[in-house]
């Protein structure tokens, strides 16, 4: 079984969405974790847009990367430039490190409709990335 870590800055939005999709696409073929270099709590808008697509992440927690220091990961995926640039050393033997910077919809200012649309756009981009990742790894 593969161990996959999704790493973001605050583990509140993008990494949580990626964890939800990778769990969906891998099923019981992988253990998927998400963490942040900080913890900001689960973003309710991320939970809502994921539920709109049939993926319930409401039970996820915001975790610090240090909580997983004893897990030997096969893949470590950073989903924002800040986490990629500030990623602490994670002692996994032979972990493949990957990076894809997804836009952060939680930083957008605008109407509720514009913010919701930004969350959907990020969710859909993450979904496609995760679908392709699971198909090829």
Which CATH number is 93's domain given? Answer: 3.40.50.2300
Catalytic residues: 8, 80, 87
| Domain with 116 in it | 2-136
Q: Whole-prediction pTM value?
A: 0.94
Based on the structure, what is the number of domains in the chain? Answer: 1
Torsions phi, psi of 84, nearest 5? -65, -40
Residue 69 confidence (pLDDT): 87
Identify the pLDDT of residue 25.
98
Burial of 64 (0-12, 13-18, 19+ CB in 10 A): middle
- Distance, in Å, from the CA atom of 113 to the CA atom of 116, rounded to the nearest integer, reads 5
State the helix-helix crossing angle for 44-52 and 14-26, rounded to 10 degrees.
30
- Give every residue of the chain whose pLDDT is below 70, as ranges: 87-89, 91
Burial of 94 (0-12, 13-18, 19+ CB in 10 A): exposed
């Amino acid at each position: 079984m593969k161990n996959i870590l999704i790493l973001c800055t605050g583990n509140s939005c993008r990494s949580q969405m990626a964890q939800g999709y990778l769990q969906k696409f891998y099923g019981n073929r992988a253990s998927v974790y998400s963490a942040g270099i900080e913890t900001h709590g689960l973003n309710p808008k991320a939970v809502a847009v994921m539920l709109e697509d049939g993926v319930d992440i409401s039970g996820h927690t915001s975790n610090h990367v240090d909580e997983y220091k004893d897990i030997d990961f096969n893949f470590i995926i950073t989903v924002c430039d800040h986490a990629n640039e500030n990623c602490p050393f994670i002692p996994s033997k032979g972990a493949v490190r990957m990076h894809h910077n997804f836009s952060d919809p939680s930083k957008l200012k605008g109407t509720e409709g514009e913010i919701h649309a930004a969350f959907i756009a990020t969710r859909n981009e993450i979904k496609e990335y995760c679908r392709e990742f699971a198909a090829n790894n």
